[in-house]
Structure 1
Amino acid sequence: MDKILYHTPEQLKEMTANNRQEFSVLFQKLKKKKPKNLDSIVQQLHEEAFDQFDCLDCANCCSSISPIVIDKDVERLAKSQRMKPADFIASYLYKDEDNDYVFQQTPCPFLMGDNYCCVYENRPRACREYPHTDRSRFYQILNLTKKNCEVCPVVFAIVKDLSKREW
């Protein structure tokens, strides 16, 4: 895998747009074929990427998108903030067009100036799993992966690497 460099979401959107055709062909092939070795390849690329990339140098995800916050996340976060769940919801969340709770603002209200998360141990499940490149049945989240190319330099690098392979 090539060295992964930090890019802003604006740069990543442009880079993704410049690779739209290539990525679309890749995603169509992966959806159609569902290669048996895809998960292991993506897992290996994920590990290689995070061996060389530190999320604390970036924080694009925390500063530009909001995770879905499920009920268990609300309970855990509210407790960590010494709030009632209803008060936490009123203070920090709203329901989006899909009827999911998301943060009212970006950057995330818990993102600190040094890119650390002040609720890291209690962060939402979606934050724990982001950028979703180490999960099984990767072919099921190709649409999400396409969106994440515009936010996460690691996802962009993984997809770029996948697009160079023979499927």
Structure 2
Amino acid sequence: MSELLSEWEKRSKENQKSYKQLLLKMQTKKGKETLRQLPDLHDEAFSKIDCLQCAGCCKTISPRFKTPDIKRVSKHLGLRESVFIDTYLRLDEDGDYVVKRSPCAFLGADNYCTIYDLRPNDCRNYPYTDSEEFFKRPNITMLNSVICPAVYYVLERLKMIVK
């Protein structure tokens, strides 16, 4: 991996204050213009990062399972929705269904997702490095920067762009 990604977890923890300032800057007019660069930065990050080498998201956080996700996955597994929920999910403090434990029950030893083609929309969209959500939810983005090297990479590149 590139120099930028060496010791990314440690560096991300050290840079939380500067990330907060950066994400606040992104709320300005100049920052919003930078939004157009996110898809390119996202592609650049994932040209350097292999999710299968990390799987930090699947090992530490849970996606929300919305009703369509529950229907789709339970059908694929041949389970009634209630059995799927009882077996794999719990309600979190926000009233959303999330996986009962970490790492995710659908993460294989090889870091492949056993329900990848049917995965919840939260998984499909994670880590939001190519969308407005990246700026709209700064606390989540800062948390994700210590979970996902792509988030760290995009934040570091943005620091170089937005001075």
| Residue in structure 2 matched with residue 107 of structure 1 by the alignment | 103
Give me the whole-angstrom Cα distance separating, in 1, the residues matched to 2:129 and 2:46.
11
Shift of the alpha carbon at 1:86? 0.7
Task: Give the letter aligned to residue 52 of structure 2.
Answer: L
The residue type equivalent to 2:124 in the other structure is R
Structure-2 residue corresponding to 1:96 = 92
Matched, 1:37 2:37: no
Residue 63 (structure 2) pairs with residue 63 (structure 1): no
Alignment of 1:118 with 2:148, yes or no, is no
Q: Is 1:156 aligned to 2:152, yes or no?
A: yes
Per-residue CA deviations over 1:89-115 (Å, capped at 9, x if unaligned) read 000001101111100011000100111
Compute the displacement of 1:146 (Å): 1.3
Deviation at 1:164, TM superposition (A): 2.3
Equivalent position of 1:50 in the other structure: 46
Q: 1:144 aligned to 2:140?
A: yes
Question: Which consecutive unaligned segments of at least 5 residues does structure 1 have?
Answer: none
TM-score calculated relative to the size of structure 2: 0.90
Q: Aligned partners of 2:106, 2:63: CA distance in 1, in Å? A: 12
Gaps of at least 5 residues in structure 2 are none
**Larger helix fraction of residues:** 2
CA contact (8 A) 2:89 2:99 kept: yes
Q: Secondary structure at the match of 1:102?
A: strand
2:88–2:99 Cα contact (<8 Å) kept: yes
Q: Is the 8 A contact 2:5 2:153 kept in 1?
A: no
Query: Helix, strand or coil for the counterpart of 1:35?
Result: helix
Cα distance, 1:35 vs structure 2:
2.8
Q: Kindly provide the CA deviation profile for residues 118-144 of structure 1, in whole angstroms up to 9, marking residues without a partner as x.
A: 111111110111111112464323332
- Matched to 2:85, the amino acid is I
Q: Give RMSD over aligned pairs.
A: 2.0
